[in-house]
Amino acid sequence: MGRLTLRRMRIAESDLAALERAVQSLEHPGLAARLAGLVGRPIELLGRALPESASQAIAAATAKGLQAALKVALLTIRRSPAGGSQLLHKYLAMASGAAGGTFGLATLPLELPVSTIIMLRSIAEIARSEGENLSDPEAALSCVQVFALGGRTGTGELEGGYFAVRGMLAKSVTEAARYIAERGIIEEGAPVLVRFLGQVASRFGVVVTQKLGAQAIPVIGALGGAAVNYA
């Protein structure tokens, strides 16, 4: 068996500094992530305290909102002209969130699909501005996928959760995009689309539940709803 010779690799100072910064970033989550964890913990506990009937209503509204978002992503966004106002979309999302924050669970079945579509359009504009071709089903589905990246369960770090969810959804996005590209039509009951929406809904539902938990505090109801949608 031949001997394996290891040569010492020379790394430029600039590359070494960049590597050290990357390691530092991975080992120590960003301030925003740590603050989100500290602030989000009480809200997460509030969300867990919601009654079963509220959880069922949230699940139904989440599914309805994501189904509407999927239709918009695959049928409307690709044909819409570029250059929409991201700020306008944010203001509209804030308005719908404030309404939902004021009236709470009662308006969720109406507010969530509307705010989900508005936020999706803002996401799509950002993707388009970054050079994404939204006529590509995979790019459009990736816009919907964003709704699964904003929540977390347990005490895992936000950054780790982000990459874990991206990895979990990657296969579903690819399979759903291939199905749409081959068929050229959208069948809501198609297994690949049902699986994709189910995975996104399981994560997005966490965010919605936390939002409802925050709105259970009267003082921050409307302001909290607007702030969550703006973010």
Q: Tell me: the pLDDT tens digits for 74-88?
A: 777 655 555 555 554
Q: How crowded is residue 85: how many other Cβ atoms within 10 Å of its Cβ?
A: 12
State the pLDDT at residue 74: 74
Q: Crossing angle of helices 191-215/158-183, nearest 10°?
A: 140
Average pLDDT, the chain: 66
State the pLDDT at residue 6: 42
Residue 216 has pLDDT above 60, yes or no: no
- pLDDT, mean of residues 29-51: 47
With b for 16 or more beta-carbon neighbours within 10 A and e for fewer, the 151-186 pattern comes to bbeeeeebeebbeebeeebeebbebbbebbeeeeeb
How far is 112 from 68, CA to CA, in rounded Å?
10
Higher pLDDT, 88 or 14: 14
Query: Model's pTM, two decimal places?
Result: 0.58
How far is 97 from 103, CA to CA, in rounded Å?
10
State the pLDDT at residue 142: 86
State the pLDDT at residue 19: 64
State the pLDDT at residue 149: 76
Question: In the chain, what is the greatest distance between 2 CA atoms, to the nearest angstrom?
Answer: 74
